[in-house]
Structure 1
Amino acid sequence: MIIANKKINIYYNDNDNSNTLPVIILNNFEEQINEIITECRHINSKEFILVEITNINWNKEMSPWKITSLFKNEEPYLGNADEYLKVLETEIIPEIEKEIEKNNKKVKYYAIAGYSLSGLFGLYSGYKTDKFKKIITASGSMWYPNLENYIKENKISSKVESIYFSLGNKEKISKNSILKSVEEKTKLIQEYLSNKVKTIYEENEGNHFTETAKRIAKGIKWSLEN
């Protein structure tokens, strides 16, 4: 289905016995929903509904504020996360709820998940709305300039109960001085937020592009249990 020019895929990962389920909103760079569900079943995650949103203007809509491009010919980071979050809350989620209700299901709570820049967007959303109870940031862009200061100078929503952080153990290996800070900054942010909500930092094998669906699935499993 198409809502607000975004492609929406919904998957009911349940056995039809539960009518009230957690709904995980996943903003994704490309469609991976079947692969993610397969991984979730492989690791025996609890039941949930996965809503995958694609056709996102990645560097524009997932970035919280403007920064210069990190590489030559890269699209600029335009900082339109607030605008996209408003569309998500006022246009996309209400239509998703209607679709879920058509399938005789109800929303237990919402969680937000993301990989890379959308992992950053998920964490940022926790500071801008009370909509999400859980946050999953798999290989999130915690390198983003001024993010650490923003986290410390603002309050995360009191509705957020847990945040999952993960990285690949080779992600810090970069010639780019900003990207190479990702592990250090992820750990600092996770440690700081651990005083506010339940958090975990999980390290995976590989670089930023290794087993992305599996990393998202691991975050979903932990989030559903915490």
Structure 2
Amino acid sequence: MIIYEFGDPKADTVLIQPVDEYDLAGIENEIALISGSSDKSFRLIAVKVDNWNNDLSPWKAPSAFGKEDFGGGAEKTLGEILKLCSDESKSYFIGGYSLAGLFALWATYRTDRFSGVATASPSMWFPDFTDYMKAHEIRTGTVYLSLGDKEEKTRNPVMATVGDRIREASSLLSEHGVKCVLEWNKGNHFKDADVRTAKAFSWVIRS
């Protein structure tokens, strides 16, 4: 993985975001939008993973599209990310887009290191994930969820479950006393990833 750092290196608020090349292309706009929504100084650490489907999936699963299965390498990735969160005087927030959003949510069931999680259009269709949420206790008190209003309107039968799964997740979190919001954005999964991620991080650092 490759680490990119943005913002104020001395800030008490640190945002952690797993990214790929697509995310990096919009990262400057994302940072500008977060800055414009709050006067709070922050540092953003973008973690470019080596293999998206392997490094961010919590367990092995068959491919929902294409030929590459999910490798279940999230535990190793989380271990490396936690090394970036060693300063006890800082507040750390984790978030991301698509599978990175799912990874971020899963991470808050594995560690209490994060003050909040910002999940923009997360891959909630990932097999058995809401069952995992039911069987485990989340270790953060602040969760932002979002989805595009056209994302569940797909011919892919696995990915078409994303709307029902994210509604279920939102209800589960609220029932357990988590401060949670589910926001619906216009468009499909590939629209305004930087804008949606900025909205997610902006909400959790204000909450």
Give the TM-score of the pair, scaled to structure 2: 0.91
| Aligned equivalent of 1:143, options 112, 125, 134 | 125
| Aligned equivalent of 2:27, options 33, 36, 45 | 33
Contact preservation (8 Å) 1:13, 1:49: yes
Q: Deviations over 1:89-113 (max 9, x none)?
A: 23x445xx6xxxxxxxx95311101
- 1:115 counterpart letter in structure 2: Y
- Residues 50-129 of structure 1 correspond to what in structure 2 (within 5 A)? 50-73=44-67, 75-90=68-83, 92-94=84-86, 107-129=89-111
Aligned length: 203
Contact preservation (8 Å) 1:139, 1:208: yes
Question: Are 1:8 and 2:6 counterparts?
Answer: no
C-alpha distance in 2 between matches for 1:41 and 1:20: 13
- Residues 158-197 of structure 1 correspond to what in structure 2 (within 5 A)? 160-196=140-176, 197=178
Q: Secondary structure at the match of 1:135?
A: strand
C-alpha distance in 2 between matches for 1:68 and 1:55: 20
Distance 1:55 1:147, change over 3 A: closer
Deviation at 1:20, TM superposition (A): 4.7
Where in structure 1 are there 5+ consecutive unaligned residues? Answer: 1-5, 98-105
- 1:22 counterpart letter in structure 2: T
Contact preservation (8 Å) 2:5, 2:45: yes
Question: Are 1:198 and 2:183 counterparts?
Answer: no
Deviation at 1:47, TM superposition (A): 2.4
Contact preservation (8 Å) 1:13, 1:37: no
- Identity of paired residues, percent? 34
Deviation at 1:71, TM superposition (A): 2.3
Q: Deviations over 1:6-59 (max 9, x none)?
A: 221211259xxxx55210101112213212112223434632111111143100
For residue 103 of structure 1, what is the aligned residue in structure 2? none
- 2:120 counterpart letter in structure 1: A
CA RMSD of aligned residues (A): 1.8
| Aligned equivalent of 1:222, options 175, 188, 203 | 203
Contact preservation (8 Å) 1:22, 1:107: no
C-alpha distance in 2 between matches for 1:50 and 1:72: 31
Contact preservation (8 Å) 2:49, 2:55: no
Where in structure 2 are there 5+ consecutive unaligned residues? Answer: none
Contact preservation (8 Å) 1:45, 1:224: no
Contact preservation (8 Å) 2:11, 2:41: no
- 2:16 counterpart letter in structure 1: I
